[in-house]
């Protein structure tokens, strides 16, 4: 059964040749690239930790190792470039009001500390009187 985050046949046919060969003849037979890619897509879609990867994708360490290897070898970049070359981007528009930014990436300077709020009891220390009294 094909799930929402798994790659469909027409899409797989377009990128299959861009992936490294599955078996190099050394050691154990490797896991299928499609299964590994589906595991990576599940991880990206859900945002879950690698250790929570469902067993149907194989051992999480294997999927993670393949992900690291493909990242290092620019496999994802090659896939992106291949697929984006087909795109017609003449009518694409991006409105920045729809882009969400994490609160820590909202432009504040790093290391700034906000002043602590003062308490009414702070005014009485050192002989100072509250402003509300004459």
Q: Quote the pLDDT of residue 92.
A: 76
The reported pLDDT for the residue numbered 61 is: 96
SS3 letters across 84-126: HCCCCCCCCCCCHHHCCCCHHHCCCCCCCCCCCCCCHHHHHHH
When pLDDT is cut at 50, 70 and 90, the band that residue 23 belongs to is: confident
- What's the whole-number mean pLDDT along residues 54-82? 94
Percentage of the chain exceeding pLDDT 90? 41
Q: List all residues 6 or more positions away from 67 whose beta carbon is below 8 Å from its beta carbon.
A: 36, 40, 43
Question: Could you give the CA distance from residue 57 to residue 7 in angstroms, rounded to a whole number?
Answer: 13
Mean local confidence (pLDDT), 31-59: 94
The residue length of the chain stands at: 134
pLDDT tens-place string over residues 75-132: 999 999 888 877 777 777 777 666 667 666 666 666 666 666 666 555 555 555 556 6
The pLDDT of 63-70, averaged and rounded, is: 95
Q: Cβ distance 39 to 58 under 8 Å?
A: yes
What pLDDT band is residue 64 in, cutting at 50, 70 and 90?
very high
Q: How confident is the model over 35-44, as a mean pLDDT?
A: 94
Q: What span, in angstroms and rounded, lies between the C-alpha atoms of 49 and 64?
A: 10
Of 105 and 27, the one with more pLDDT: 27
């Amino acid at each position: 059964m094909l799930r929402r985050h798994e790659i469909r046949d027409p899409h797989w046919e377009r990128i299959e040749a861009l992936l490294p060969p599955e078996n190099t003849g050394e050691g154990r037979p490797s896991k299928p690239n499609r299964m590994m890619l589906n595991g990576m897509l599940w991880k990206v879609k859900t945002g879950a930790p690698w250790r929570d990867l469902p067993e149907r994708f194989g051992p999480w360490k294997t999927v993670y190792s393949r992900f690291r290897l493909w990242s290092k070898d620019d496999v994802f970049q090659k896939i992106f470039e291949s697929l984006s070359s087909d795109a017609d981007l003449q009518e694409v528009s991006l409105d920045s009001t729809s882009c969400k930014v994490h609160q820590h990436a909202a432009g504040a300077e790093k290391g700034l500390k906000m002043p602590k709020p003062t308490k009414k009891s702070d005014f009485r220390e050192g002989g100072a009187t509250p402003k509300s009294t004459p």
